Structures are given as C-alpha cells and as structure tokens.
C-alpha cells in the first residue's frame, strides 16, 4: 500500500483528534480566564451573554472594546483592532466587477483562437524578467506596508509588487512590496533562498519547477499530455482535493511563471487541457477599457461540500492576445475577494522597470 | 519531450512554478473570528494530534490570538493565511516538545496514550490492544528530528501541500520534500520491523 506509513501515523494519533474543537466563544472565555486566572467569576454573567450576542452579530471589534473596558483586574486591555487608515494617494481600481457571464468552454476556445498571436518574448544572456503585480484585497486589517482605500465594495488593500526573475530557472532575484524591499525585511532568509533555488536548478536542470524559455518549447502540445504533466503522482497528492484541482493549481502557478515565454503550440495544448476541467465558470471583465476573460475554478475540499466556505480560484486572460493578464480568488465571505493584474517586461538589471 | 522518468522526477519535486517566493495569494488575516470559523477546527485537530486534546484547546486559542496581535506581519507573498496559522501553531507546539516526545515514548513502551483522558478500564484495554506496529510507529515518531516530525504531521494530519508546509515553516520547498522523504522512510522501516514480529 502506497501510503501505509501515513495511515499508520493517523491511526496512532486518531484518539487525540476525535475530541470536538472549541468554539470561538470558548476561546474568548478561555482568554478572559487566562488574563484573570483567579477570577473566573469576575466576568459577570450579563457581560458574557452580551459578548456572545455581539459575536453572533459579527460585531467582534465591539466585543474587544467592551472587554477592554471591563477588565476587572485593571490589567492592560488586549490589543485593539486598529481603524484602517485610508490613503488618498493609493490607487484602488479593482477588484473589477463582472461585465457579463460567459460559457467557459467557448471562452477558452476564443483564447485558443488568438493564442498564435502571443509571440514569446526573447531574452538575451544576463537580462532579467521584470514582473509587476498590482493586487487588490477586500479586507479590513492593515499590514503596515500596503495602503488602504475605502471603496463602495469595502476597504481595499492595494498590493503593489515588483519582482525581478532570472529566466534561467525562473528564480526570483528581488522583490519589492511597494517601497519596501522584501529581501531585507527582518527574518528574511533571501540570499539563502536564492542560493538554494540556484543549487536545485543546477542539480536538476529545467523542469516545471524551474523552467527556462528554451526548455518550454519541448513541452507537450496536446491536452492529454498536459493533463498528465500537471497531475502529481499518487503518492504526492493530497486526499483533500481532486486531480482537476491539482491540475488547475499547477497550471495557475505555471502560467504565472512562464506566460511571456510560452510558445503558441504549448499554450494551445495547455488551454485545451484547462477546458476539460470540471467546476469551471467564466466572465468578461472591463479593466479600464481592456477586455479581460476571467476563468474560474471552484471546488470544496473533498468531504466538506456545503459545510464550509469555498474559495474560487481565478485566472485572467487578455481577450485580444490570449495571454495571461492576472489572477485572483473569490471566497463566499465578503473579505475574501482578491484580484491582481500582471505585466511583464525584459530588462537589463534587477531594479529596472523600463 | 521528456521521458516518463524525467517527468516523474519533476512531479516528485512538486509541480510549483515558484521555488522560494509564493507570489499571489488569496486571503489576508482580516477578522479573527471569521478566521477561526474557517480554520479553528482543522487547527485543533492538528494540535490535538501533537500535544493531546486538552493542551490543544489552549494552543488553538493562543494561535488565533497571536495571529491577531501579529497580523501586520502576515505576508501574502510568502504563503496563505492557512499556512501562516499552521506555522504559528507549530511554533507553539515546539514549546511543548518534551510533552509531545514523552507522550510518544510512553505509547511506545506501554501502548497507552498518556495525553488522552480515559478511564482505568479503557487504559487496560488499550494496553492489551496495543500492537507491535503501533508501538514501533510511536517510537519512530518520537525519534524523528523536530523538523521531520513537523513536516510529516503537517502532511499526514493537517494534509497541507508541500508549498503550504514550506510557507508554514519558513523553509524552502526542497527542504520540505527531503524532510518528508526521510521521515516517511523511517516510519516505513518501523512498519517493516513490526511486521517481522
């Protein structure tokens, strides 16, 4: 049996994992007990009932303020939820709403029809690929790096990312998060990560993990071969997801990585493989006058259908060229919407953008 | 086109385009109560598997409260919120490493799990039912280096994918693959030992 070791480990620990998980009310109660260890009765019954009522209403930030006001032992209040700081200068154009629903099979057929016009970029020795990502996340909490803007859709965090990539192995050499250099952030292990990635590429050569522009032309051109290539072997697959899910996730990462270099025949074969997936939907988006095709894949982890939020994953394609233009996701909760647009350029050195 | 062997080797490394930087991600910490609703149950299962159900409640509570306190440090470029939460939980598990290892060693010796609340009668039954296989597996788990045990249990119990484990632990994808391979090799060796009787 392929996974007998994993089965043995799960069986060994099974009794431990059968206990029901605590509720959020349990967590809040435990927190209040931990801060007032000798004063379990210090929280009036009335106050706790009010807390639970507010939790049910979703007004969690109000709960925390109430908690802070009523700490009976005079201890400092827990960290408050800070109010988001709108930044007038931040550009927040997305996420873009759907302009119209599309049939996913037809949408992919249309992209396949224009795919031959997407001529791969050429790169000279020593040049790097510059990738610019502008993303928008609908969520209320600031992270201290990305600006936020209030929009009709909600508080949007604007994520501006610039990446410089060595096309030989698609190894990321540098990353800017807005004006913040991610390679020098505290606890960043950047240099070691790059060295590890280069060593791995040198040892193993080009692969789907570490492609090169030249190597891409050796890849399959039929849907069946792409499906096989993008499906991990059984021992590496998670039991949570179907093969279609794995293929979608791997295609997403792959296209994000290599789209500017992908030759036409390989692009067509890959898009044909995507069109054979289940759980697809599509929509047209008007991104400031540019027509984009959103292709979406939706699946709940196996066994959880209908019991928890599902994240729908999204790839955006340029309707005119068939190239990948961005990506994102949609959750069943309002704060889960994320969308980003990607642009690519060949530049001479890390740090260049033009 | 590559041979089947070459393609197979690539699949063994995980088919991920980004080796050390996770680029676009789909969530941000947001509201912690909503996060708990989404991930609390699975995190509890993972923590309970490592330190027992009683300690797991504290660990889960601490995980989400730390997540809220440190939400500004969440970096969507490096992984998902889910991976980030598992990383926090695993660090908290490390603080109880002695308890975790002691519990596994006790299971290896006696067949009884000291971290599960049971009646005396149930313990007697556990002792009698404990197989050589379960004892060997417990011993092998106890002997694993901490990182290999982290990776193995994030894979086997939390059912995270390689890239998620890498993001959770802040290690390269290649390190996840090699640690998992080594851990599974040792568990399989324990199973073979047990089958020899």
pLDDT (tens digit, 9 = 90+) per residue, A342-351?
999 999 999 9
* Statement: residue A228 has pLDDT above 80: yes
Nearest chain B residue to A196 by CA distance is B172
Give the list of residues 6+ apart from residue A93 with CB closer than 8 angstroms, or none.
A136, A287, A288
Rg (alpha carbons) of chain A, rounded to whole number? 24
Nearest chain A residue to B60 by CA distance is A27
Q: Provide the sign of the torsion angle of the four alpha carbons B157, B162, B163, B168, taken in this order.
A: positive
* Statement: residue B145 has pLDDT above 80: yes
- Find the angle CA(A286)-CA(A291)-CA(A293) to the nearest 5 degrees: 100
Alpha carbon distance A218, A18 (integer Å): 49
Residue A220 forms contact with B (CB below 8 Å): yes
Report for A138-147, A168-177, A342-351, B77-86: range of highest mean pLDDT: A342-351
| Residue range A284-312: mean pLDDT, rounded | 82
Selection from A136, A310, A327 nearest residue A240 by Cα: A310
Report for B37-41, B73-77, B140-144: range of highest mean pLDDT: B140-144
Residue A22 forms contact with B (CB below 8 Å): yes
Residue A274 forms contact with B (CB below 8 Å): no
Taking contacts as CB-CB distances below 8 angstroms, the residues of chain B near A260 are: none
Taking contacts as CB-CB distances below 8 angstroms, the residues of chain B near A10 are: 156-157
Give the list of residues 6+ apart from residue A154 with CB closer than 8 angstroms, or none.
A138, A139, A140, A334, A335
* Statement: residue A28 has pLDDT above 70: no
* Statement: residue B102 has pLDDT above 70: yes
Contact A267, A277 (CB under 8 A): no
* Statement: residue A223 has pLDDT above 90: yes
Confidence of residue A104 (pLDDT cuts 50, 70, 90): very high
3-state helix, strand, coil in chain B (%, to 5): 70, 0, 30
- What pLDDT score was predicted for residue B129? 59
How close, in Å, is residue A10 to chain B by CA atoms? Answer: 7
Contact A55 B33 (CB under 8 A): yes
Confidence of residue A34 (pLDDT cuts 50, 70, 90): low
As a whole number, the mean pLDDT across chain B is 76
- What pLDDT score was predicted for residue A123? 95
Contact A21 B77 (CB under 8 A): no
Query: What is the 8-class DSSP label of residue B20?
Result: S
* Statement: residue A163 has pLDDT above 80: yes
3-state helix, strand, coil in chain A (%, to 5): 40, 25, 40
- Model confidence over A304-322: pLDDT tens digits? 666 555 678 899 999 999 9
B139 or A179: which carries more pLDDT confidence? B139
* Statement: residue A128 has pLDDT above 70: yes
Contact A289, A243 (CB under 8 A): no
Q: What is the ipTM of this complex?
A: 0.81
Nearest chain B residue to A192 by CA distance is B172
Range from A252-261, A274-283, B111-120 carrying the lowest mean pLDDT: B111-120
Contact A17 B52 (CB under 8 A): no
Displacement of CA A9 from its chain's centroid (Å): 30
A259 or A312: which carries more pLDDT confidence? A259
Taking residue A273's Cβ as centre, other Cβ atoms within 10 Å add up to 24
Pair of tokens at residue A120:
């791969």
Length of chain B: 197
Contact B1 A218 (CB under 8 A): yes
Selection from A287, A267, A71, A6 nearest residue B183 by Cα: A6
Contact A229, A216 (CB under 8 A): no
| Residue range A127-154: mean pLDDT, rounded | 78
* Statement: residue B15 has pLDDT above 60: no
- What pLDDT score was predicted for residue A158? 82
* Statement: residue B24 has pLDDT above 70: no
How close, in Å, is residue B65 to chain A by CA atoms? Answer: 9
* Statement: residue B23 has pLDDT above 50: no
Regarding beta strands A148-151 and A154-166, do their DSSP bridges make them parallel or antiparallel, or are they unpaired? antiparallel
- Model confidence over A229-238: pLDDT tens digits? 998 777 666 6
Contact B184 A4 (CB under 8 A): no
Name the burial class of residue A267, with classes exposed (0-12), middle (13-18) and buried (19+) by CB atoms within 10 angstroms of its CB: buried
Contact A310, A300 (CB under 8 A): yes
Residue A257 forms contact with B (CB below 8 Å): yes
- What pLDDT score was predicted for residue B119? 61
| Residue range A29-53: mean pLDDT, rounded | 39
- What pLDDT score was predicted for residue B115? 82
* Statement: residue A336 has pLDDT above 70: no
* Statement: residue B47 has pLDDT above 80: yes
Query: What is the 8-class DSSP label of residue A84?
Result: P
Residue A8 forms contact with B (CB below 8 Å): yes
Contact A326, A291 (CB under 8 A): no
Partner residue facing A209 (CB), from B19, B113, B187: B19
Contact A246, A230 (CB under 8 A): yes
- What pLDDT score was predicted for residue A76? 36
Query: What is the 8-class DSSP label of residue A238?
Result: -
How close, in Å, is residue B195 to chain A by CA atoms? Answer: 13
Contact A208 B53 (CB under 8 A): no
- With pLDDT > 90 as the criterion, what percentage of chain B qualifies? 38
| Residue range A250-261: mean pLDDT, rounded | 92
Residue A135 forms contact with B (CB below 8 Å): yes
Residue A293 forms contact with B (CB below 8 Å): no
Confidence of residue B147 (pLDDT cuts 50, 70, 90): very high
Contact B15 A144 (CB under 8 A): no
Q: Name the 3-class secondary structure at B115.
A: coil
- What pLDDT score was predicted for residue A316? 96
């Amino acid at each position: 049996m392929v996974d007998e070791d994993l089965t043995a480990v799960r069986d060994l620990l099974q009794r431990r994992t059968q206990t029901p998980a605590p509720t959020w009310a349990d967590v809040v109660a435990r927190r209040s007990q931990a801060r007032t260890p000798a004063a379990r009765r210090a929280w009036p019954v009335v106050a706790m009932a009010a807390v639970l009522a507010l939790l049910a209403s979703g007004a969690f930030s109000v709960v925390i303020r109430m908690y802070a006001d009523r700490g009976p032992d005079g201890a400092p209040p827990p960290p408050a939820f800070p109010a988001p700081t709108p930044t007038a200068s931040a550009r927040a154009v997305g996420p873009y709403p759907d302009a119209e629903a599309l049939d996913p099979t037809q949408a992919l057929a249309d992209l396949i029809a224009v795919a031959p016009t997407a001529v791969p970029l050429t790169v000279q020795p020593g040049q790097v690929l510059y990738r610019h990502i502008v993303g928008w996340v609908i969520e209320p909490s600031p992270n201290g790096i990305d600006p936020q803007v209030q929009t009709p859709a909600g508080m949007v965090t604007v994520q501006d990312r610039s990446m410089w990539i060595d096309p030989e192995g698609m190894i990321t050499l540098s990353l800017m998060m807005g004006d913040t250099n991610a390679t020098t952030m505290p606890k960043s292990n950047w240099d070691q990560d790059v060295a590890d990635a280069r060593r791995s590429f040198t040892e193993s050569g080009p692969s789907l993990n570490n492609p090169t522009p030249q190597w891409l032309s050796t890849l399959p051109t039929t849907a069946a071969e792409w499906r096989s290539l993008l499906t991990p072997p059984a021992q590496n697959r998670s039991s949570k997801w179907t093969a279609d899910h794995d293929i979608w996730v791997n295609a997403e990462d792959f296209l994000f990585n290599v789209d500017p270099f992908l030759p036409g025949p390989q692009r067509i074969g890959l898009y044909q493989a995507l069109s054979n997936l289940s759980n697809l939907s599509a929509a047209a988006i008007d991104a400031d006058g540019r027509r984009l095709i959103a292709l979406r894949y939706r699946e709940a982890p196996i066994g959880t259908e209908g019991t928890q939020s599902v994240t729908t994953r999204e790839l955006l394609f340029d309707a005119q060229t068939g190239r990948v233009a961005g990506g994102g996701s949609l959750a069943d909760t309002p704060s889960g919407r994320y969308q980003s647009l990607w642009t690519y350029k060949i530049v001479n050195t890390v740090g260049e953008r033009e | 086109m590559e041979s089947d062997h070459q393609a197979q080797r690539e699949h063994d490394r995980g088919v991920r385009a980004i080796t050390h930087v996770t680029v676009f991600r789909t969530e941000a910490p947001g509201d912690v109560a909503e996060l708990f609703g989404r991930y609390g149950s699975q995190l509890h299962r993972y923590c309970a598997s490592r330190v027992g159900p009683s300690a797991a409640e504290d660990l889960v509570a601490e995980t989400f409260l730390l997540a809220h306190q440190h939400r500004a440090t969440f970096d969507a470029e490096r992984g998902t919120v889910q991976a980030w939460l598992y990383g926090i939980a695993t660090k908290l598990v490390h603080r109880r490493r002695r308890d975790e290892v002691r519990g596994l060693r006790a299971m290896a010796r006696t067949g009884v799990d000291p971290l599960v609340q049971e009646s005396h009668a149930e313990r007697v039954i556990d002792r009698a039912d404990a197989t050589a296989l379960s004892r060997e597996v417990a011993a092998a788990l106890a002997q694993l280096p901490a990182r290999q045990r982290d990776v193995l249990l994030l894979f086997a119990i939390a059912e995270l994918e390689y890239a998620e484990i890498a993001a959770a632990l802040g290690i390269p994808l290649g390190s996840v693959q090699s640690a998992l391979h080594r851990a599974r090799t040792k568990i399989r060796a324990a199973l073979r030992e047990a089958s020899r009787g």
